[in-house]
Amino acid sequence: MYIYLQNELIVTVKQGKLQGATETLYDGSTYYSFKGIPYAQAPVGQLRFKAPLPPQSWEGIRQATEYGSICAQYDSVFKLFKGSEDCLFLNVFTKPRHGRTPVMVFIHGGTYLTGSGNDDLYGPKFIVQQDVVLVTLNYRLDVLGFLSVDTPDVPGNAGMKDQVAALKWIKENIAKFGGDPDNITIFGESSGACSVSHHILSPMTRGLFHRVIAQSCTSIHDSAIGEDSKSRAFRVGKLLGRDTKNTTDLLEFLRSLPAANLTNLTSATSTDDEQYRGLPERFLPVVEKKFDNVEAFLSKNPLDILQSKEIRKVPLMLGYNSAEGIIIIQDRLGKLYIYNNNPSYDVPREIAEKLTQEEMNDMGKRIRNFYIGDREYTRNDYEVIVSMLSDEHLVYDMHRFTDLYSKHNSPIYMYRFSFESDLNFVKKLASMGLDLKGACHGDDVFYMFSSNFTKDAYESQDKLKDYVSKVTKLWTDFAKTSNPTPDNSSGPRWPVYTTKNKEFLDINVQSTAGSFAEKQRVEFWDSLYCEAGLPCIKNN
């Protein structure tokens, strides 16, 4: 598996030799890291917005001891552009081992606008301790990754095709790192979870993975599929200085611009309705038009595939955090006047497309009445607003996807993540002094990945080490066996989901199994989707 040359770690992949590094886990044992491995060539210049190109070979030994450039993105915290178009790199982390080891491939979140596979957020030390090979990766983001003009040249989904290219590279080369190419689990959080559930539906990824873990999103969420993408592309051009209706002219112009100009355009290209309805995610995977000699990542609506016999049967683990809506509570509290005066904005896009404005207004009032009764929201309602936002944007569709997918008879394990500790880093940032209970959107990743932001807390509190061990064991046991609790030695058995009982595991200090999480709330939202004539749990 490994070759040692002058005391340096060398691995030979199809494209050439890689020199990795030896590093140390928290338990003092050794692991190997191989960073910044090019899995594809980034299309640039006149190839911008196209699918990735095959990786190039290299001569000699390539240093794989530093992360490659992150993909071009706008940092909303520091208000600056970061990254590069030449960014299609992945990273492999593994313990010294003999034989084939289960592989876990993580696809990062960040609303398809930000993020990378680097260790500022997604360090390998927690997961690698559980004896799996971990791979993290970059993929194109924002306009550069998700522009679509409905042509064979730029049909959309370039960022998703990057992910496919990475999975192909992993399938072909991971055995060189001790990984088992016939035992690959893909997992992701937020938009990364949208991505991994899209991969279940895409014909491009057949045979490239064997299990899926989706954390806080699926392919049927409003924030998982873009709409009106061609019109949005022309709005990008107009905003940047080229007001044209000609696709060729538009693409020529957009390909001439610096990459930095093609980031941070979500709000500026949103319609008036989009400013308040749904989450602020616009450059997204799309349902591609079919063209001759062009392989589509996704050519049918995810809901249609989910209800058809086309869908692949893979073991699936998925769930959500107990208070997802904390992530946007401050934004909502700052806009209460708008939502109180126009409650129709709380009708999800998928339903809104089926209703008149009057029907939307009525439904919006019913949603508000369900949570607080016949009055307007106030800032003191922040806890119930968190529940409403959680249900509207994430919880209901997690349940709906689970129920619809379950008819395909693959083993499914559903969870609710409820841990609260100093590892809940996102909650600390988002709550801004509010006394909020539960786990915020994004908090779960800090129980799976070593991070610069939680390093001090983890190293100073023994209980956090226990929490991390518990969570990573569930995730890696599923990757190893298709069952997150193959034995009862360390906690309660996690029951398989059935449509009858809707079993789940509440993951906490003391985890507990139950049936139909958030039953009353989910049934309320389900009644709205059924009423609109959309696929729903009741009619499944």
The owner of tokens 């389900």 is: 526
**Please, what is the end-to-end C-alpha distance for the chain in angstroms?**
48
What span, in angstroms and rounded, lies between the C-alpha atoms of 201 and 330?
Answer: 35
324 is catalytic: yes
267 is catalytic: no
Of 160, 231, 145, 155, the residue nearest 201 (C-alpha): 160
Q: Report yes or no: 266 and 183 within 8 Å, Cβ to Cβ.
A: no
Q: Which amino acid is at 434?
A: L
What span, in angstroms and rounded, lies between the C-alpha atoms of 89 and 74?
Answer: 19
Helix H or strand E encompassing 247: helix 247-255
What span, in angstroms and rounded, lies between the C-alpha atoms of 312 and 300?
Answer: 14
What span, in angstroms and rounded, lies between the C-alpha atoms of 182 and 164?
Answer: 16
CB proximity list for 85: less than 8 A, separation 6 or greater: 42, 44, 48, 71, 72, 140, 144, 259
- Measured at the CA of 344, the angle between CA 343 and CA 349, to 5 degrees, comes to 135
Active-site entry in 190, 216, 223, 406: 190
Q: Report yes or no: 160 and 194 within 8 Å, Cβ to Cβ.
A: no
DSSP assignment string, 83-123: -BS---EEEEEE-S-SS-EEEEEEE--STTTS--SSTTT-B
Q: Report yes or no: 396 and 522 within 8 Å, Cβ to Cβ.
A: yes
Q: Facing residues of 334 across strands? A: none
Q: Report yes or no: 49 and 154 within 8 Å, Cβ to Cβ.
A: yes
Active-site entry in 324, 350, 503, 518: 324
What span, in angstroms and rounded, lies between the C-alpha atoms of 478 and 466?
Answer: 19
The residues carrying an active-site annotation are 190, 324
